[in-house]
Amino acid sequence: MRVKKNRFLLLVLLVILPIAFVCHFAAGEISISWSTFTDAWLHFDSSNSEHLIVREFRFPRFVMACLAGSALSVSGLMMQTLFNNPLAGPYILGINSGSSLFVAISLMTGFTFFQNDFGLVSSALIGALVFGFIILGISFKIKQGISLLLIGLMLGSFSGALISILQYLSEANALKMFTLWAMGSLQQVQTAQLPFILLLFFLGMIASFFIVKPLNAFVLGETEAELLGISIRNIRLLIILITAVLTGLVTAFCGPIAFIGLAVPNLVKIIFKTQDHRILLPASLILGAVFLVFCDIVVQLFAETLPLPINAVTSLIGAPMVIYFIVKRIAR
């Protein structure tokens, strides 16, 4: 009964996604007809500016909204399960702080790993991985998930402080560039970068689908999972690695996008009323995409009158949701 209902709900979500695509496309500043959209792919004319808008702006922006929403939601879900805490998210581990710190360093001191278009992206990815590996290294020593959570928070404050110092010392132009990045944007991605992003995204997703069984056991806590024959160290390592790649990827290309990783998995649990990750994982994946596409539609609708950064919109919608969860949980 419940299983059937949940499958139906998943199907509903899947149907909403193409609808969201249509709305997202239609909400763009310059209205473009659907025939132009198909023409842009079937009979591409590089001198036609509408074709260029479709191929270089609208389409990658939509794809990126889907990927970022999914990746952050799935990461959030896995963090919440790993730490047995509904308030955990990809940010809590400090992975995102790693990205921010490295981007701040490269923007405000001029130090970059690669002197090309990929400079900023590589800094963010390397930062995510470096902090991911720090947490990973500590996770070999520490058995309790809750201590790891605290260490993640400490890493966050530590890099936050370093960033503040950098901001204080840096010149106006660099400061502006960093602030813009920190606001988040789905528009920075170019079509040529999509294959690389898709590859990493799918690798992360496939890996997470292969750990649904350990994730289900982790819901009962690490002690219980161990009693059920699950190697907790290996699984914890895998979860942190997958989260570092997925979060790092999104942060690199879109900047730090808040709240999705925290809000969406909680929403999914409320809707589906289960702890079975065979349902929660695909549901977070789809709902995450729908949520961020929806936020980006809002951004596009206000683009002319009030240019809102995507990060402001996710927080504006996400923050009240999170407050609602906390109040509802504690009030019970």
Partner 1 sequence: MKLTNLHIGYSTTLLEIQELNLEAGKIYALIGANGRGKTTFMKTLIGQIPAISGGISIGNKASSVLSPIEKSKLFGFVQSRFAGVPYMKAKEYVALGRSPYTNAFGRLSTKDEDIVNQSFSTLEIEHLADKFTEELSDGERQMLAIAKVLTQETQYIFLDEPTAFLDYSNKKKVLDKLTEIAIKLKKTIVYSSHDLELTLGHSDELVCIAHEGNDVRSFRKNEIEFEGLVRFCFGVNSPN
Nearer to partner 1, 99 or 216 (CB): 216
Distance, in Å, from the CA atom of 141 to the CA atom of 192, rounded to the nearest integer, reads 41
User: Which token pair is 140?
Assistant: 């070999």
Shortest separation between residue 273's beta carbon and partner 1, angstroms = 5
What's the number of CA atoms in the CB half-sphere (13 Å) around residue 264? 35
* Spatial distance between the Cα atoms of 142 and 146, rounded to a whole number of angstroms: 10
What b-and-e string marks burial along 83-110, b requiring 16 or more CB atoms within 10 Å of the CB? beebebbbbbbbbbbbbbbbbbbbbbee
CB of 201 to partner 1, least distance (A): 21
Comparison of 7 and 213: residue with beta carbon closer to partner 1: 213
Rounded CA-CA distance 241/221 in Å is 20
CA–CA dist 157, 166 (Å, integer): 14
CB of residue 88 vs partner 1: minimum separation in angstroms? 14
With contact defined as beta carbons under 8 Å apart, do 243 and 93 qualify? yes
Q: Give CA–CA dist 151/157, Å, rounded.
A: 10
Tell me if 299 sits within 8 A of 27, measured CB to CB: no
**C-beta of 259: minimal distance to partner 1 in Å?**
20
- Please report how close the Cβ of residue 239 comes to partner 1 at its closest, in angstroms: 16
User: Which residue number, 72 or 279, has a Cβ lying nearer to partner 1?
Assistant: 279
70 or 266: CB nearest partner 1: 266
Cβ proximity to partner 1, 39 vs 276, nearer residue: 276
| Cβ proximity to partner 1, 136 vs 212, nearer residue | 212
Q: How far apart are CA 294 and CA 267, in angstroms?
A: 15
Residue closer to partner 1 (CB basis): 176 or 329: 329
For residue 147, the number of C-alpha atoms closer than 13 Å in the C-beta half-sphere is: 8
Residue ranges in contact with partner 1 by CB under 8 A: 2, 86, 210, 212-213, 216-217, 219-220, 223-224, 226-231, 269-270, 272-276, 278, 329
Minimum CB separation of residue 323 from partner 1 in Å reads 18
Q: Residue 187 and residue 239: Cα distance in Å, rounded?
A: 29
Tell me the closest approach of the beta carbon of residue 215 to partner 1, in angstroms. Answer: 9
| Contacting residues for 231 by C-beta, under 8 A, at least 6 apart | none
- Among residues 74 and 108, whose Cβ is nearest to partner 1? 74
Q: Min. distance of Cβ 235 from partner 1 in angstroms?
A: 11
